[in-house]
Chains A and B, each alone.
Chain A
Amino acid sequence: MKEITEMLQQVAARLFNEGLEMFIGYESGSVPAKARPYFAAVQGETAALVFNPFCEHNLAKYLVRFPNAKTAVVVKGCDAGAVERLVKERNLDRTRITVIGVPCGGMLARERVLAELPQDGKITAITDRRDAFVFQTSKGEHVLEKKAFLLAKCLICTQNNPTGVDLMLGKEAPPVGETGKDPYARVKEISALDPPARAAFWDRLMDRCLRCYACREVCPACSCTECCFEQAVPGWQQGAIWLSKAVTLPDNLHYHVIRAFHVAGRCTGCGECERVCPVRIPLMLLNRKLAGDIDELYGPTPPDVPSVLCTYATGDRDEFT
């Protein structure tokens, strides 16, 4: 991954020469086998930029924080759609943004990697060998087969190379996801449960939601400047309380179902909501369910349409009258 890292640093340095004000990428994390979002504001800060199979974060939403700056952002295949969506919905001024694409050979599940590597071995280099990542550590070389170590979402991913970017770094990545795998397999499994079993499945998971709102804060489709669940301004929406602040199963269900509907047709499938959930609620199941339904009901969304649920024609069927 050394080449991509070097390319990123060089590109960032060049962009700052050309008047860039903020470069959003990744740096190494504070613990082994971790990366994190990184913000370089001047050329001198570009040396910390990295890219490796722990750069799982989707950085697109951070762009919204810099509405008036010339910004560059690093995107993987699964992140690019989020930039596009934010632009389509007029949350971003595309002319101010340089989108830098990186080929992605899949992201690794950190817990599994740590269990595999020697405890006190320092990672010195990581190489992508198509079917495996090879880790050089201070305690020797370790080959981690992708099939066994990639994040679940990467095993069904076919977007290894981002589209719609201004600059693509490195060589095109070959697909890592198993072709022919049905992305809706788990959704179908849950949908096939009888209603009491399905309710039990979700109740158990939603009962442990903390309502920390990490899923909302990280979600590039949750782009409202003020969330309907925030109730920040008294009297807002005529003082209606959409959701009790009490953390109870019905309120948790309510929150997640409403959020899923709000992002339906707009969710780009990056899976960030699921990644950040501290109590491991498989939120992408909900999003995928709705994505599947929309696909079935409306077919593929035409490129000039922001999203099927955000558009209408006067001739649309109206079932409510």
Chain B
Amino acid sequence: MGASNPLLPKIATVVDIVRETGDVNTFRVVFDDPEEMAAWNHRPGQVAFLSVFGVGEATFCLSSSPTCRDWLEFSVRRAGKVTTALHELEAGAKIGVRGPYGNSFPYEAMRAKHLLVIGGGIGLAPLRPLVNFMLAPENRKDYGKVEIIYGGRTYNDLCYKEELFRTWPETPDVAVWTTIDVAEEAWQGHVGFVPAYVEEVKPTPEDKFVVICGPPIMIKFTVKALENLGFRADQIYTTLEMRMKCGIGKCGRCNVGARFVCRDGPVFNLTELYQLPQEY
């Protein structure tokens, strides 16, 4: 079967582990076979499966940009069996990777448009590849302004701090607003929930796409805020999370109505979501 067996992971090595927050690590992963590394192509928004052998396999969004050809990155929050096992790994560990799966953010349709990114906590992970794809020198001219509104419970819960506080704000035509839920002594920035901050920032809907990811409650109220600001449902994209086992539309588990999140998602715009049963 070999290469034609989509359920068989490719062996990869964890080359670096970055501690993002108390319970989120970003794993930098390189395929052992350089040809696999060269052949890997993902689009922003797609997911992949990571295997810790003997423990199991789980789905994660890619958090590295497709323009990065040397490694893949996955930001993983310690929550269940597989994520806990991943967190126990050290650099040099062997894992399995298969993918990429699913659709992606409509980066083609987004050409020449502005982008508003709204994230909460680890919800920035699936949005980061899109931001970095658009900001990559070879793509930058194709896209308009990038606005990022991002929040976490505390300062320590904010991911990708280097990009958040240095790289992105220093890039031309990029604006970053960061907030935390509750005031902290050392924090000079904004305090408050993301939906309220969106209402304060008052982004405009013209020629713009919005991508949102974060806790369901944050998404719910942010969508309300955006609708009040004049955004249409088909401008707003988010990602759905369902349990998945195969990633290739066979195991049946991730269905929402007739859609499989692994094939037809994980990215949906609100118009599409409103037509699906509320079973996600």
Nearest CB in chain B: distance from A28 CB, A: 32
Which parts of A201-248 form the interface with B (CB within 8 Å)? Answer: 234-235, 239
Total contacts A-B at CB 8 Å = 8
Give Cα A235 to B79, complex, Å.
9
Residues of A within 8 A of B84 (CB): 235, 239
Query: Which residues of A are found within 8 Å of B79, using beta-carbon distances?
Result: 234
B80 within 8 A of A: yes
Q: How many residues of B contact A (CB 8 A)?
A: 4
Question: Contacts of B81 on A, CB cut-off 8 Å?
Answer: 234-235, 239
**Interface residues in B44-80 (C-beta closer than 8 Å to A):** 79-80
Contact with A along B78-92 (1 / 0, CB 8 A): 011100100000000
Chain A residue, CB-CB nearest to B55: A239
Chain A residue contacts of B80, Cβ below 8 A: 234-235
Tally chain A residues at the interface, Cβ within 8 Å. 3
| Distance of A32 from chain B, by nearest CB (Å) | 34
Instruction: Closest A residue to B82 by CB, please name it.
Output: A234
Closest chain A residue to B79, Cβ basis: A234
Q: Least Cβ distance of A282 to chain B in Å?
A: 33
Q: Whose C-beta in chain A lies nearest to the C-beta of B83?
A: A234
CB of A215, distance to nearest CB on chain B (Å): 24
Residue of A nearest to B80 (CB): A234
Considering only CB atoms, which chain B residue lies closest to A239 in the complex? B81
Least distance between A242 CB and chain B CB atoms (Å): 14
Cα A278 to Cα B81 with chains together (Å): 33
User: In the complex, what residue of chain B is closest to A233 when comparing beta carbons?
Assistant: B80
Chain B residues near A235 (CB-CB < 8 A): 80-81, 84
Residue on A with the closest CB to B85? Answer: A239
A239 to B79, alpha carbons, bound, how many Å? 12
Q: How far is the CA of A239 from the CA of B81 in the complex (A)?
A: 7
Bound Cα distance A68, B84 (Å) = 39
CA distance A239 to B85 in the complex (A): 11
Q: Which residues of B contact A234 (CB under 8 A)?
A: 79-81
Report the separation of the CA atoms of residues A76 and B73 in the bound assembly, to the nearest whole angstrom: 62
Residue-wise, chain A 17-29 has the 8 Å CB interface mask toward B (1 for contact) of 0000000000000
Nearest residue, chain B, Cβ from A231: B81
Once the chains are docked, how many angstroms separate the CA of A234 from the CA of B85? 12
Chain B minimum-CB-distance residue to A241: B81
- CA of A234 to CA of B80, assembled, Å: 5
A177 CB → nearest B CB, Å:
46
Docked CA distance A241–B23 (Å)? 24
The CA of A235 and the CA of B83, in the complex, are separated in Å by: 11
What is the CB-to-nearest-CB distance from B23 to chain A, in angstroms, rounded to a whole number?
13
The residue on B at minimum CB distance from A234 is B80
The CA-CA distance from A235 to B81 in the complex, in Å, is 7
Q: How far in angstroms is the closest Cβ of chain B from A51? A: 38
Rounded to whole Å, the gap between the CB of A16 and the closest CB of chain B is 33
- Minimum CB–CB distance from B258 to chain A (whole Å) comes to 26
A316 CA to B172 CA in the complex, in Å? 79
Residues in B with CB closer than 8 Å to A239 are 81, 84
Enumerate B126-153 residues with CB–CB distance to A below 8 Å. none
B63–chain A nearest beta-carbon distance, Å: 22
CB distance from A4 to the nearest CB of B (A): 42
Residues facing B in A148-196 (CB within 8 A) are: none
Closest-CB distance, A100 to chain B (whole angstroms): 37
- Compute how far the CA of A235 lies from the CA of B80 in the bound complex, rounded to whole angstroms: 7
For the complex formed, measure the closest distance between the CB of B77 and the CB atoms of chain A, giving whole angstroms. 13
How distant is the Cα of A31 from the Cα of B79 in the complex, in angstroms? 48
Cα of A239 to Cα of B80 in the assembled complex, Å: 9
Q: Considering the chains assembled together, what is the distance between the CA atoms of A234 and B84 in angstroms?
A: 10
* 8 CB < 8 A contacts A-B: A234-B79, A234-B80, A234-B81, A235-B80, A235-B81, A235-B84, A239-B81, A239-B84
Q: Residues of B with Cβ closer than 8 Å to A?
A: 79-81, 84
- The 5 lowest CB-CB distance pairs between A and B, nearest first, are A234-B80, A234-B81, A239-B81, A235-B80, A234-B79
Sample of 5 more A-B contacts, CB < 8 Å, known A234-B80, A235-B80, A239-B84? A234-B79, A234-B81, A235-B81, A235-B84, A239-B81
